[in-house]
Amino acid sequence: MKFKSIKTKMAISFGVLILIICIGLGTVSFIESYNTLASNATESLLQMAEQSAKFVETKVEGQLDVMEGLAGNYYIKSDTLSIDQKLNILKDEVKRSGHISMGIGDASGNVIFTDGVKANLYDRENYKQALQGKSSVSDPVLGKADNRLVMSYAVPIKEDGKVKGVLIATRDGSELSKLTSNIKYGKTGTTFMISKNGYTVANKDISLVRKMENVIEKSKNDPSLQELMKFETYMMEGKSGAAGYTYRDGTKKYIGYAPVKGTNWSLGISVPKAEVMESLTKNEKLEAFTTIMFVLIGVLIAFFITSFIAKPINAITKHLKIVASGDFTVPVPEKLLKMEDESGILASAVKDMQEIQGNVIRNIIEQSSNVTENMKQINMEMENLNKSIEEISATTEQLSDTTEKTAESAEEINDISNTIEKDAESISQKAEHSSESVLKATNMSEEMKQKAIKSRESIMSIYKNTKESLENAIKDSKEVSKINELSSAILAIMENTNLLALNASIEAARAGEAGKGFAVVADEIRSLSDDSKDTVTRIQEVTKNILEAVENLSSGAYEILEFIDKKILPDYNEIVVSHEKSSENFSDISNMVRDFSNTSYKLLTSVQNVSKLMQEISDSGNEQATGAQNIAGETSQITKMSGHVVELTEKAKEKSDSLANTVSKFKV
């Protein structure tokens, strides 16, 4: 929405300003009230929590004091009465105090109760503390016998300063919850208690006590309990305090907490934030109504004030509209000029502006004709300049074309030189490689020559030694023929021996009994002679075979020696001669390749110099072509610019004519 009247704008501006001030003051007031209420709520919650904790502490101490007095009774602590008689005394106390039962326990934890129940409570924390001489109360727990929610008070039974037993009393476990239910803050505030381990020991919802709910444990799986868990952690640590938090259902609450001294408990009181801030909500409504009333009154007052201020401004606006139409002859009203406030100053400024603009318009009318003539002269000069520049541009383009062709030819020659350079470099590398290969072949040929000479010398040495050994062996083999001679002599001896044995046998037979022993010897000699004859015959056969083998071996050995002498040795001589010739040929080739490699290197150096020179020529040509192109481009650009200047001068002339027509409308 647009407001054309300054009076309306000023009225709305004042109204918005008043609204902002009222809202600001209301906000500050609300924040202060909010902080004050919050501070009072936390302080009062803390005080009430401390007082309530003291109240619970007093109740517990009262029960323990009564039981300590009973435990100090002579009949309870002495052994004068039996356990049954002591239990009868305690039954009266049960009825009087409202206990569920009472019992007496020994140092081992064995307890006998007035209702006849027997149990071992040694594992209960408060029972252990009683055995150590300290009276205490337990958390509400489910009874071992009947699963009933109970809590126990335990005090030591002492005799001569030593603990000899424990007096214990069990009470309804919901007693604490009933006690805290009577502690209220506001309409919906609730009171609860937890133990040092985080278990609920008192709550208006008794099922939470029976289930021994632990917010610390539940918060591990339920992130919505994190804020409450933080304050319950403080309670477990025995701290006092008060603050705000957000419950699991999103409800914002305040909590105050304090420890119950003499126990393991801590008491907390929580109340919804909405209840605490209820009075603040009423104040908000009242402040909103008051703000609206003040804004409306302020807008009315602002409307009257702005009407008075806007009247002379409207008169000046009407005069400015006349001036804006081009009529500078109408004077500013004297009434406005006589005003001494900002309106009078504005009127005087309008008068001065009217006079100055009138003078300016007169000068514009006079100078516009001069500008038109100057523009015509500039236009003619720029046209002449444009023609000269176009001629320069044409000449430069021709020079650029010629330079580009020269650069292209130089680049082609450079490419050819690069190709020749690469081929020459490849030839030089191959020549160098060939020189190395020839050198290796020469060395290899020389090595083979030396090895052939050494092999020939080795074969000659082996040939001579073998020939000598073979001749000696053949000569020695002739001694085998003597074995036949010896065998023949042995055969003759054996025949004679056999004959003598026969004669001996005959003589022994003649001798009778006396010659029997000699006959046996004669038979043995004859038998030995026959065996010797057979052996000699076999020796002659073996000797004959040996002689034939030696003859064959000699014949083969002579053939081998003849083959070595006539074939192998001449071949080795030829190999040596061939390697000598190869070595000479390789030496000649190596010299030729070395000369070729040197020539190739010189050729490569010359080609590289030519390539480098052609590259410089090509670069120079490219630079000249680039320069010529730049000159042509700049000349073309200048031509365009000069044309643009001509266009601008034409437009300037048109603007000057238009300006002259425009200022002619003003009345000065």
What are the boundaries of each domain within the chain? 24-279, 418-644
Strand pairing report for 162-172 and 101-105: antiparallel
Supply the pLDDT for residue 628. 57
Supply the pLDDT for residue 259. 95
What is the rounded distance in angstroms from the CA atom of residue 254 to the CA atom of residue 233?
16
Average pLDDT over every residue of 590-611: 65
Supply the pLDDT for residue 569. 64
Fold of 418-644: Helix Hairpins (1.10.287)
- Per the rule left: phi > 0, alpha: psi between -120 and 50, beta: everything else, 147 is left
Supply the pLDDT for residue 392. 61
Give pLDDT tens digits for 101-118: 999 999 999 999 998 888
As beta bridge partners, residue 257 has 241, 268
Residue 350 binned pLDDT confidence (cut-offs 50, 70, 90): confident
Residue 592 binned pLDDT confidence (cut-offs 50, 70, 90): low
How many Cβ atoms are within 10 Å of 664's Cβ, its own excluded?
Answer: 11
The Cα-based distances of 437 to 426, 444, 581, 589, 595 in angstroms read: 16, 10, 18, 11, 15
**Mean pLDDT: which of 39-43, 335-339, 661-665 is highest?**
39-43
Who wins on pLDDT, 492 or 402? 492
Who wins on pLDDT, 360 or 7? 360
Same fold, 24-279 and 418-644: no
What is the rounded distance in angstroms from the CA atom of residue 284 to the CA atom of residue 612?
95
- DSSP labels for 55-120? HHHHHHHHHHHHHHHHHTSHHHHSSSS-HHHHHHHHHHHHHHHT-SEEEEE-TTSEEEETTS-EEE
Position 3 pLDDT exceeds 60: no
Who wins on pLDDT, 235 or 557? 235
Strands of 200-202's sheet in order across: 200-202, 190-195, 265-272, 252-259, 241-246
Model-level pTM greater than 0.85?
A: no
Give pLDDT tens digits for 291-304: 777 777 877 776 77
The first and second tokens of residue 37, run together, are 């209420």
Mean pLDDT value across the chain: 76
Give pLDDT tens digits for 512-541: 776 666 677 777 777 777 777 777 677 777
Who wins on pLDDT, 632 or 506? 506
Position 555 pLDDT exceeds 70: yes
Nearest 10 degrees: CA dihedral of 277, 280, 282, 286? -160
As beta bridge partners, residue 159 has 162
Give pLDDT tens digits for 182-198: 888 878 888 999 998 88
Nearest 10 degrees: CA dihedral of 541, 545, 551, 553? -160
- The three-state secondary structure class of 199 is strand
Supply the pLDDT for residue 400. 62
Supply the pLDDT for residue 361. 72
- The three-state secondary structure class of 582 is helix
Supply the pLDDT for residue 191. 93
CB within 8 Å of 165: residues ≥ 6 apart: 77, 104, 105, 106, 107, 156, 157
Residue 49 binned pLDDT confidence (cut-offs 50, 70, 90): very high
Helix axes 569-663, 342-477, angle to 10 degrees: 170
What is the rounded distance in angstroms from the CA atom of residue 158 to the CA atom of residue 113?
19
Position 438 pLDDT exceeds 60: no
**% of the chain residues with pLDDT over 70:** 60
Position 72 pLDDT exceeds 70: yes
Who wins on pLDDT, 578 or 159? 159
Fold of 24-279: Beta-Lactamase (3.30.450)
Average pLDDT over every residue of 371-395: 66
- Identity of the amino acid at 14: F
Supply the pLDDT for residue 435. 64
What is the rounded distance in angstroms from the CA atom of residue 145 to the CA atom of residue 386?
122
Identify whether the C-beta of residue 140 lies closer than 8 Å to the C-beta of residue 149: yes
Residue 136 binned pLDDT confidence (cut-offs 50, 70, 90): very high
Residue of 218, 216, 225, 274 lying closest to 249 (CA atoms): 225
The Cα-based distances of 95 to 111, 154, 530, 553 in angstroms read: 19, 18, 149, 143
Supply the pLDDT for residue 634. 65
CB within 8 Å of 36: residues ≥ 6 apart: none
Residue of 204, 210, 205, 144 lying closest to 173 (CA atoms): 210
Burial of 305 (0-12, 13-18, 19+ CB in 10 A): middle
